[in-house]
Amino acid sequence: MKALFIIAAIAGACLSFQAPPLKKATVYLFLQSQCPCIYNHKETFGSLIKTYQSKVSFTAVFTGRKETDKDMQQLISDLGWRLPYKKDKDHTLLRQLKPRVSTDCVLVDAKGKVLYVGAIDDGPLNMGAVKNFYLKDALEAYVNDRPVRVSSAKGIGCTLSD
Amino acid sequence: MKPALTLALVFVTVIVFSGCFSGATDKVKMTYGAPKAYVTNEAIPATTTDGPIAYAPNIPPLVDNDTVAIRVDIQHKKITVANGVCFWAWTFGDSIPGPVLRVRVGQTVKFSMVNRSNLTAEVSPPMPHSIDFHAAMVNPHDKYRSINPGETLHFQWTANYAGVFMYHCGTPVILQHMISGMTGMIIVEPQDGFPGKVDKEFAIVQNEFYLKPKGDSLYETDVASARNRQPLYVTFNGKSKQYVQQPLQVKAGDRVRLYVLNTGANLTSSFHVVGTIFDKVWIDGNPDNEFRGMQTVLLGSSNGAIVEFVVPEKGTYVFVDHSFASVEQGAVGLIEAK
C-alpha cells in the first residue's frame, strides 16, 4: 500500500512538471450547410488538414441562425473530413474575423493575430485551375516562421448572412 | 477549244458545284471574340428579363437588327415540378427552363444579367452565378465569369452558327447549379431564316429533377441522386406531364416544327412523336445537318435538334422520351390535332 502511494506521488510530480500544451494557430473555415461552393475545395482543403493538423488547428464555423447540428454534421461527413465545428449564431467570430463569404478561411496565430483572411485558393475564379494557393502559402509561411505575403484574397461563395 | 475558254469553263463549273454542296454555314462571315465583359453594381430592376424572350413552349419573335439587347436575371424562386412537389430553385428569369431566346446568325447579342439571389436570403443562401452560352464563341474565363449577389454582368457575342443551343450556369459546383434549374434554350436562325414554312412551332426542353423530400410538399435538390443519375422527375418544359393535362394544339395537315433541347443534366433523350415520322431532322438545329424520315432523334445532354413533321389526320399524338423510364418519370406530352 505504501509503495502505491509512493508511485502515485512520483507520477503526480512528473505530471505537474509537464509543460502545458502550446496553443496552436487556428484555421477557421466559414461554411453554410446549404451552400455547395465548398465542394470546389473538397480535395484541396482536405489535403491541407492532413498536412498541417499537427501544427495548426482546423475548425469549421457555421454562422447561419437556422443551421442544425444534423445539417452541419452531414456537410462535413459528405466532404469526408474529420473537422470539428462551431456554431457562431451570435456572429462573434463573424464580426471579429470579417470573412466575406462561405469557403473563406481565417488563419489566426497562437497569440490571436489574424494572419490571413479569404479564399482557400483561386480555383473557382479560374474555371477550376488553381493559380494561387492562398491558404496553403499562408500556412507554409506560418509554420516556417516567415511573414505571410498575401494576407487576403477574394473568394467565391455564398454570402454569410444573418 | 482555246485554253482560256477551257479555264473559264472549269472555273464556272467549280463555282456552280461548290455552291450546290456548300451549306448555309459556309456563307457566313465568322466573328470571333468580343470586347471584355464587365461587372456593375446598379439598382436591381423591377422585372427579371428584358428584350425578346418567351417561355417554352412559346418562341419569341426575332428582332431584325444587327444587334439585340437581352437581359435575363438570376433569382432563387420556389418552383412547382409536379402536383404537391415544389422546391427552392435557382432560375434564369422566372421559370425552369429559363426563357427561350431567339437571335439570328450575324447578330450581336448585348447581354446583361443581374444576380438577384440576395433578394431571397431568408430562404435560400445568396451565391455567385454565371451563364455559359453554347451558341457563343468567346473566352469563357472572361464572359462566363461568376458574379456575386447584387452584381450585374455585361458582355456581348456574335452568333456564328445556326442551331438550337443550350445555356446554363457554369459556376462550380456546376452539377448542383444545373439540377437547381439553371438551364435554357437559345435558337439561332440562319441569316435567311430556317428553310421552309411551317404552320406551328413549339419549343420543348427536356430536363431531369433530382429531389428529395424536405417536409410537406417542399423538396430540395439531391446531389447524391444526381451523381447516381437517378432523377425523381424527367420533364418537358419543367413540369411533369403538363402537356397531358394541357395538350399542344395543332390542326390536321399542319406542318409542325419542334425545337427540342435536352439540358440533362445527365441523361440522354430519345425524342419521339407517336403517330408520325420526322420528315426533316436538323441535328443541333442546324439545317446543314439534315436527316430525313427519322422515327426518333437521340439527344445527349446539351444536344438540340429541330424536327419537322406533318400531322396526318385528326387525333392525339403523344410525344415522349422513348427511354420509357423517363415517361414514367414525367417525360410525356400530347399534341391534339382538331
| B134 close to B86: Cβ distance less than 8 angstroms | no
pLDDT tens digits, one per residue of B171-229: 988 999 999 999 999 999 999 999 999 999 999 999 999 999 998 899 999 999 999 99
Tell whether B322 is in a known binding site: yes
Would A115 be classed as within a structural domain?
Answer: yes
- Residues B72 and B184 occupy one common structural domain: yes
Q: Note the ipTM here.
A: 0.72
**HSE-up of B170 (CA within 13 Å, CB side)?**
17
C-alpha cell at A131: 493559380
Would B147 be classed as within a structural domain?
Answer: yes
- Residues B105 and B229 occupy one common structural domain: no
- Residues B150 and B91 occupy one common structural domain: yes
Would A8 be classed as within a structural domain?
Answer: no
User: Domain range holding B169?
Assistant: 38-189
Alpha helices in chain B (DSSP H): 3-21, 140-143, 174-179, 223-227, 242-245, 324-328
Percent helix, percent strand, percent coil in chain B, to nearest 5: 15, 40, 45
User: Closest partner residue to A36 among B140, B145, B176, by Cβ?
Assistant: B176
The count of other CB atoms within 10 Å of the CB of residue A137 is: 16
- The C-alpha angle A41, A78, B228, rounded to 5 degrees, equals 100
Average pLDDT estimate for B94-123: 96
Using the 3D structure, point to which of B142, B161, B189 is the last residue of a domain.
B189
pLDDT at B19 over 50: no
* Domains identified in chain B, total number: 2
Using the 3D structure, point to which of B170, B189, B208 is the last residue of a domain.
B189
pLDDT number for residue B9: 55
| Nearest CA distance, A55 vs chain B (angstrom) | 31
- Which stretches of chain B sit within 8 Å of chain A by CB? 118, 121, 124-128, 140-141, 145-146, 148-149, 170-173, 176, 223
- Which range among B4-13, B85-94, B161-170 shows the weakest confidence by mean pLDDT? B4-13
- Residues B48 and B185 occupy one common structural domain: yes
Query: B192: helix, coil or strand?
Result: coil
* Backbone torsions φ then ψ of A74, nearest 5 degrees: -65, -45
- Residues B232 and B138 occupy one common structural domain: no
pLDDT tens digits, one per residue of B284-331: 999 999 999 999 999 999 999 999 999 999 999 999 999 999 999 999
Asked if A159 lies within 8 A of B124 by C-beta distance, the reply is no
Shortest CA distance to B104 belongs to which of B182, B168, B194? B194
* Domains identified in chain A, total number: 1
**Mean pLDDT, chain B, integer:** 93
pLDDT number for residue B28: 78
Would B225 be classed as within a structural domain?
Answer: yes
Tell whether B127 is in a known binding site: no
- Residues B163 and B248 occupy one common structural domain: no
The count of other CB atoms within 10 Å of the CB of residue A44 is: 15
d(CA B300, CA B270): 9
- Residues B93 and B152 occupy one common structural domain: yes
Q: Residue A102: its chain B contacts at CB < 8 A?
A: 125
| Nearest CA distance, B162 vs chain A (angstrom) | 27
Query: B77: helix, coil or strand?
Result: strand
Sign of CA dihedral A127, A132, A138, A141: positive
Would A6 be classed as within a structural domain?
Answer: no
Average pLDDT estimate for B272-283: 98
Q: Is the pTM of this model over 0.95?
A: no
Q: Which of residues 70-129 of A touch B (CB under 8 A)?
A: 101-102, 123-128
Tell whether B177 is in a known binding site: yes
Using the 3D structure, point to which of B189, B212, B240 is the last residue of a domain.
B189
- List the CATH number of the domain containing A116: 3.40.30.10
Interface check A68 vs B, CB under 8 A? no
d(CA B133, CA B14): 37
Would A71 be classed as within a structural domain?
Answer: yes
- Residues B125 and B207 occupy one common structural domain: no
| B21 close to B142: Cβ distance less than 8 angstroms | no
* Backbone torsions φ then ψ of A158, nearest 5 degrees: -85, 145
| DSSP single-letter state for residue B132 | E
| Residue B20 pLDDT class (50, 70, 90 cuts) | very low
User: Domain range holding A93?
Assistant: 21-153
pLDDT number for residue B6: 58
* Cα Dmax for chain A: 71
